[in-house]
Amino acid sequence: MQKSLHIEPGKCTGCLQCESACSLEQEGLFNPAKSRIKVFSFHDEGRYVPYTCTQCDEAWCMTACPVDAITLNPENGSKDVNEDICVGCKVCTIACPFGTINYNSSTGKVVKCNLCGGDPQCADACPTGAITYIDADATGLDKMRAWASKTDNAGA
């Protein structure tokens, strides 16, 4: 069963535990600037939105890479960057329409979410359940339920 990250921004408090857990797992240190997940803050609205790679089925980053450094992980469906192959050209950062691939100037390579090999630490660290790792086929279920509960079924 394929799983994917499911993010519910309404539950996010902006605590940044996800960013810290990610940077520790991926870089070995607590440095949110090196995290593969980012929490955007909308101060005027008082809201926070966690955001990371959605592991697209038709991954433009993977298609655009001229050296095939981004490959599909068959175990968890993530699109992983092979640092030994990556030449740091940043073509994938341009190809990604969501801006979730970043250039790491200290390594000269790109970085993106790899779902922590199937055990995403951002989801484990989230104290409010704003980030969960669920069956990929069910990611839209909550949105459909919310819409259905608001629909006037009087005409049915």
Q: Do domains 1-52+118-142 and 56-112 have the same CATH topology?
A: yes
DSSP code per residue over 42-79: ETTTTEEEEE-----TT-HHHHH-TT--EEE-TTT--E
| Residue 2 pLDDT | 82
Which residues 6+ apart lie within 8 Å of 41 measured at CB? 14, 47, 48
Mean pLDDT value of segment 58-79: 96
The owner of tokens 């669920």 is 134
Distances (CA, A) of 137 to 24, 27, 150: 29, 30, 23
| Residue 155 pLDDT | 52
Which numeric CATH code is attached to 1-52+118-142? 3.30.70.20
> Tens digit of pLDDT for each residue in 135-147?
877 766 666 666 6
Mean pLDDT value of segment 95-102: 94
> Tens digit of pLDDT for each residue in 125-137?
999 999 999 987 7
Average pLDDT, the chain: 91
The Cα–Cα gap between 84 and 55 comes to 21
Which numeric CATH code is attached to 56-112? 3.30.70.20
Residue 126 has, within 13 A of its CA and on its CB side, a CA count of: 25
> Tens digit of pLDDT for each residue in 24-38?
999 999 999 999 999
27 class by beta-carbon count within 10 Å (0-12 exposed, 13-18 middle, 19+ buried)? middle
Predicted structure pTM score? 0.84
